[in-house]
Amino acid sequence: MKSTNENIREQIETLRRTVTYHAQRYYVYDAPEISDFEYDRLYHELLALEREHPELDSPDSPTHRVGGKPLEGFEAVTHTVPMNSLADVFSYEELGEFLDRVAAVLPDATYSVEPKIDGLSVALTYRDGVFVSGATRGDGLVGEDVTANLRTVLAIPMLLPEPLTFTVRGEVYMPRASFERINRARTAAGQTLLANPRNAAAGSLRQLDPSVCAERGLSIFIFNLQEGALYADGHVPATHTETLARLRELGFPTLELTAVAAAQEEIVRHIEKIGASRDGLAYDIDGVVIKIDTLSQRGVLGEGTKTPRWAVAYKFPPEQKKTKLLDIVIAVGRTGVLTPTAELSPVRLAGTTVSRATLHNLDFIREREIMLGDTVLVQKAGDIIPEIVCAFPAERDGSERSFDMPTRCPSCGEPVTRDAEEAAVRCTNSDCPAQRSRSIEHFASKDAMDIEGLGPQLVEALLAAGHIRSAADLYTLRPETVAQMERMGDRSAANLIAAIERSKQAGLERLIYALGIRNVGVVAAAALARRFGTLSACFDATVEEICEIEDFGMITAECVTNFFSHPQNRALCQRLIEAGLVTTSTAKQVDDRFRGMTFVLTGTLPTMTRDEASALIKERGGKVSGSVSGKTTYVVAGEAAGSKLTKAQSLGVAVIDEAELLRMIEA
């Protein structure tokens, strides 16, 4: 007769199998067999038993997939099989050239044609059927150990039905539903919205707190066997499509819409079919992968330095859609500039629902002959910023109206003026409420003082209540004052005050940028800090001295001197000094090996943040830019690099990875 403990052990093991099975039906096969309520009941029954009997707990239980203790950092992982990237093609002509190169060696080749998921590539390792580790792609040779975060991705099986040992490769992504849910919550909290699902997935997987990653609702598709065997007897599938079938049999989510084709016409048809399905998918794709299906034939072509010769990625052109321009609203920025923004009939575009698009200025509207009520073509610049490409005059019905900029500021009612040398229209009132609000929001932003939790809604509320009038007033706020604001409580207030206190240590580079001086961005602010060393020294800098800084011209230099000559701005700076902010430069010049070179950083680097890489470059005399041009010397590309990498390749700009950058620094 079984003991009570044995019965409980069996009950727990049965519940684990049941919960795992139903989670797999939901997250992998999209075919749930029970309701969410019933699943939650089983899950919590298992959780209660494990808490009552901790001696029977197991790290492989499905109850351990909601995150654990925060990590101190990510360990570097060297991949035993390199995780190479794919060469991109941007037209059917380029695709044809690839197919011709293959046909010259393998005239009978057939191809797997499958969607290219817009996410972050990872390797998952199993030992005797148990998930043991996972790592990001990194530079292809060295990635980061993100095992704890990957355990929170419910589509990844922790236990396989067979005791197999192998490593598979997949793409972690953020489903559209998760992305929209998170952005709704961030909107309600007054936080900055996530830009797109791809960047959101990469950022989520690199959270040091696994519980944060668990809340993001990530998923995965597995698309390759890296090493090991998928069968206990060592049998190896002959084709890629057989491999995918076997992986799905073992419980891995694999790509839908995958087909096998031979002729270019057939491949193109399937590419267009996948492209036409984009709107209806639950996840984002940015292209189609075409790779030789027979695995033995891949070995004949081999690998290039960074990309295989047996596969390419056809990249979709920027997605464009028609919609209606309903209205044009005016926003007043922190420097008083009036910016027109289009309000659109909502349209799904590049992974998000777009209902607003920038119109830049009146010249932009006139050049494109845009009228209120027009049918317009919308795209996302760099798959991030919505913009109007053009209007369709032929589709007008006579109800459309022309647009003119207002003659008075919509925020304060004071007159506006247009600088003869600029396209911008500005409010003439330096005490304009909108300017105060935007300037404080800018002061608290991530690249400035990085005051987490101080979003636009809270800034507006603090201003309306009279608790603040300038950025300096943030450092006089008390927790009990903040706790009384709407949607705030004691804990939120304490967190905000702590973030404000931490911002005092941000340094002169961030502080100069936070002040919101016209034409002074992150790079220029850091250059000013390096040149003058203290905030007080910036007060007395002359136009001539500032113009001696590389890439500073007369206009920017005059903007700086004008700012610091204004009594109101000097008083603000003096209050910040008295509040205890660090107003000295933390920058150091190591050498000038990168003098005259311009770097652009894109994607997620394997061992450091982009800010850390930027600092290393600047310490050696280099410049870091946010955009790629013909003047760019190097693009440093990490995981999930996007449009900047594409533009660099089209311009012939040298592309390096983090490892190469570090070699240049250490040389």
pLDDT tens-digit readout, 343-354: 999 988 766 788
CATH classification number, 320-420, choose in 1.20.1090.10, 3.40.710.10, 3.10.20.740, 2.40.50.140: 2.40.50.140
**Thinking of the domain 433-521+537-547+554-578, which architecture would CATH place it in?**
Orthogonal Bundle (1.10)
DSSP run (H or E) holding 476: none
Distance CA 287, CA 292 (A): 17
Domain with CATH 3.40.50.10190 in the chain: 598-666
Cβ atoms within 10 Å of 207's Cβ, excluding its own: 20
Element (H, E) at 111: strand 111-117
Interacting residues of 535 by C-beta distance below 8 A, sequence separation 6+: 508, 511, 512, 573, 576, 577, 583, 584
pTM (two decimals): 0.62
Q: In angstroms, rounded to a whole number, what is the distance separating the alpha carbons of residues 157 and 404?
A: 58
Whole-angstrom Cα distance, residue 254 to residue 265? Answer: 25
For residues 245-268, average pLDDT = 94
Strands in 268-374 per DSSP E: 285-292, 311-315, 320-332, 337-349, 352-358
- The residue that leads in pLDDT, 572 or 333, is 572
Ranges in the chain annotated CATH 3.30.470.30: 78-315
CA–centroid distance for 652 within its chain? 25
Query: What CATH number labels 78-315?
Result: 3.30.470.30
Average pLDDT over residues 516-545: 89
* CB of 62 closer than 8 Å to CB of 234: no
pLDDT score for 248: 94
Q: Specify the length of the chain in residues.
A: 667
Q: Where in the chain is the domain with CATH 1.10.150.20?
A: 433-521+537-547+554-578
Question: pLDDT-based confidence at 157, cuts 50/70/90?
Answer: very high
Class of domain 4-64: mainly alpha
Spatial separation of the C-alpha atoms in residues 649 and 659, rounded to whole Å = 19
Helix, strand, or coil (residue 381): strand
Q: Provide mean pLDDT across the span 636-648.
A: 83
Predicted confidence at residue 124, as pLDDT, reads 97
Judged against a pLDDT cut of 60, whether residue 429 lies above it is answered with: yes
Using alpha carbons, list the distances in angstroms from residue 199 to 85, 172, 657: 18, 11, 18
Whether the per-residue pLDDT at 72 is higher than 70: the answer is: no
**Quick one: pLDDT at residue 209?**
83
Give CA–CA dist 243/237, Å, rounded: 6
Question: b/e string for 565-585 if b means 16 or more Cβ within 10 A?
Answer: eeeebeebbebbbeeebbbeb
Q: Region 524-528: what's the mean pLDDT?
A: 89
Residue 418, beta-bridge partner list: 425
User: Active-site residue numbers?
Assistant: 116
Residue 587's pLDDT band, with cuts at 50, 70 and 90, is: low
Q: How are beta strands 87-89 and 311-315 bridged, if at all?
A: parallel
CATH code 2.40.50.140 region(s) in the chain: 320-420
For the segment 269-282, the average pLDDT, to the nearest whole number, is 91
The domain made up of 598-666 has a fold known as Rossmann fold (3.40.50)
Q: Is the predicted pLDDT of residue 149 greater than 80, yes or no?
A: yes
